Amino acid sequence: MKERITITLDKDIISAVDRKIDGRKIKNRSHAIELLLARVLGENYPKKVIFLLGGKGTRFRPITYELPKALLPMQGRTVPEHLMDLFKRFNIKDLIFSVGYKSEKIKSYFGDGSNFGVKITYVEEKKPLGSAGALKLASPHLNGTFIVTNGDELKDIDIEDMFYFHKENNAMITVALTTVDNPSVYGVAKLQGNKILEFVEKPDPDNAPSKLIHAGLSIWEPEALKLIPAGFSMYEKDVFPKVASQGKLYGYNFSGQWFDTGTPERYEIALKKWKGFK
């Protein structure tokens, strides 16, 4: 809920504010002042991120018989370490690692996060719970707006801009969307404006509703956790459709780097092309 207020500012400050307006990320004077205040007050980003790291990495066998996928090297570091760099850019350092397969090795490597400049809390699946089930397990730690990220994609997203987009639309869940040339191997977003109506799974290229796919990062309000059923569940199938039916599932289209490392072939491409963060 927004409220209108009247403020009096020095002309030089107003000029400095106006110079921030670019018509895209910062649309007008009011928007600029709101963003600047949010940054000063630390209200320009979610406070917690949950990393989904419980998968068995079956497509990387036999390597993952010994090593969890989260610890595979990517340009001398792991993919979660690269993702930490993304979140630390926006001062997000409170991380939750949802682990399952070979969790002891992940815990041993990352510890409490202090060696990486973050704080890590672990939630452990005793049996596979799926992407949504893992969130339900972590729900006692998720009492405010939070981010969900897959642990096997490299992405460069303006979290502050996405968060503002999420709040501006009063979304329950906002999904980061990236454009791919061949959407037929992914879940593809069908949109009405910025609202996601549904994800069409692995469509024929000629009939795909768009070339926009889920980039493996989303912003959630805690009320969405109430929609997760008990037991094994996937948020793509068991939560997103419920939120879409309420008109509260939004797509944030970004153009930054994005690499899926979920198969050996895509992993090799990421190894060669990922440029890190400037």
CB atoms within 10 A of CB 33: 18
Quickly list H helices, the chain: 11-18, 29-41, 79-89, 103-110, 130-138, 159-168, 235-238, 240-245, 264-273
Q: How far apart are CA 112 and CA 95, in angstroms?
A: 10
CA 74 to chain centre: 19
- Residue in 20, 88, 126, 202 annotated catalytic: 202
Three-state DSSP class for residue 146:
strand
Is there a contact between 138 and 96 (Cβ–Cβ < 8 Å)? yes
Rounded distance between C-alpha atoms, residue 251 and residue 192, angstroms: 10
Active site residue 202: yes
Question: What are the tokens at 117?
Answer: 């400049």
**Which residues does the annotation mark as catalytic?**
202
